Amino acid sequence: MPFRARTYRGTPRNLAFLAARLRKGELVAVPTETVYGLAADATSAAACRRIFAAKGRPRTDPLIVHIASLGYLARVAVPNPEALKLAKAFWPGALTLVLPKTKAIPGDATAGLPSVAVRMPSHPLFRKLIRLAGVPLAAPSANPFGYVSPTTARHVEQGLGSRVRHILDGGPSRIGLESTIVDLRDPRRPVLLRPGAVTRAQLERVLGVRVRAAVAPAGAKSAQVAPGQLERHYSPKTPVQLHARISAGAASRKPDEAWLFVARPALKGANIFWLDPKGNLKGAGRRLFAILRKLDDAGFQRIHVELPKGAGMAEALGDRLRRAAAR
């Protein structure tokens, strides 16, 4: 029978109930500081397969495994000294490490690869839920595969409400962009697979070496080392066009198209939008996916976006926008 998801507040009773559902192999949408995730027991191959089915996610796109404490890392992965440096510097937080996996994590969670993407989230409700469940939780973004990531419980209900029974509401995501991912399988040659709130400069300060960028987007048919590698991802249904700079004349000539700026522009109009009033990039990251969803639902023919300039969060925002605009 069709069903609609139920949304739960983060009370002790509700957390205990949801932890029990997870131990039984069910799915629970969860809040994180990055975006909302669709969680399941990461040690259960059957539970992980339910994530792929609910999202319509290709089995070549691995899941991130979430742990509640640093002591649990060695149960799911084989850490090296460089990984421990980064974990101690940035966990709990928005950093995912790719390492060799242990036998505790099934190949269904890792696209059949001998590596695993793992992080310790900072959202207090999610960490409590992991502890109560007593198992690490696999949790990709809680949305239909390839669509704009969810940053509120309402976004999850809109996208997966007929496929997931339980949604834990932890408020809007504080960061709003998915975690930074670093490949440390070869600790001498760290690779930034996905930029995020933990910046390349921060990683290099801790590691003391250059962190290279991934060379090219992954193909959909081959197993990926970590999520977020496909050329097209995080995409609204409305076409997205990117610009180094948007002129006032272009925006005024096309009122049926949306024009999105990082900071509040001097322009005014029903089709003019911005991510942060003062152009603060952390604020822009927090609002990016929510505003893309809003524009997608507004009936515009196209969404034009002015790319942010610089490194750090600008790199993360640019990465999401380029994938959202890819065709």
Mean pLDDT confidence for 195-224: 88
Q: Is the pLDDT score of 1 beyond 50?
A: no
Where do the CATH 3.90.870.10 domains begin and end in the chain?
A: 6-213
Residue 55 — left, alpha, or beta (φ > 0 → left; ψ -120 to 50 → alpha)? alpha
Tell me the pairing of strands 115-119 and 180-183.
unpaired
Mean pLDDT confidence for 232-251: 90
Per residue in 136-181, pLDDT (tens digit) is: 999 999 999 999 999 999 999 999 999 999 999 999 999 999 999 9
The pTM of this model reads 0.95
Beta carbons within 10 angstroms of residue 221's beta carbon: 7
Question: Bigger pLDDT: 248 or 289?
Answer: 289
Cis-peptide into 92, omega within 30 deg: yes
The 3-class SS string of 268-299 reads CCCCEEEEECCCCHHHHHHHHHHHHHHHHHCC
Phi, psi of 14 (to 5 degrees): -65, -40
The proportion of the chain whose per-residue pLDDT surpasses 70, expressed as a percent, equals: 98
Q: Is residue 224 within 8 Å of 287, Cβ to Cβ?
A: no
Beta carbons within 10 angstroms of residue 208's beta carbon: 8
Mean pLDDT confidence for 40-58: 97
Return the CATH class of domain 6-213: alpha beta
Per residue in 292-309, pLDDT (tens digit) is: 999 999 999 999 999 999
The proportion of the chain whose per-residue pLDDT surpasses 90, expressed as a percent, equals: 88
Q: 3-state DSSP call for residue 6? A: strand
What is the chain's mean pLDDT, rounded?
95
User: Residue 165 CA to chain centroid, in angstroms?
Assistant: 21
Q: Is the pLDDT score of 51 beyond 90?
A: yes
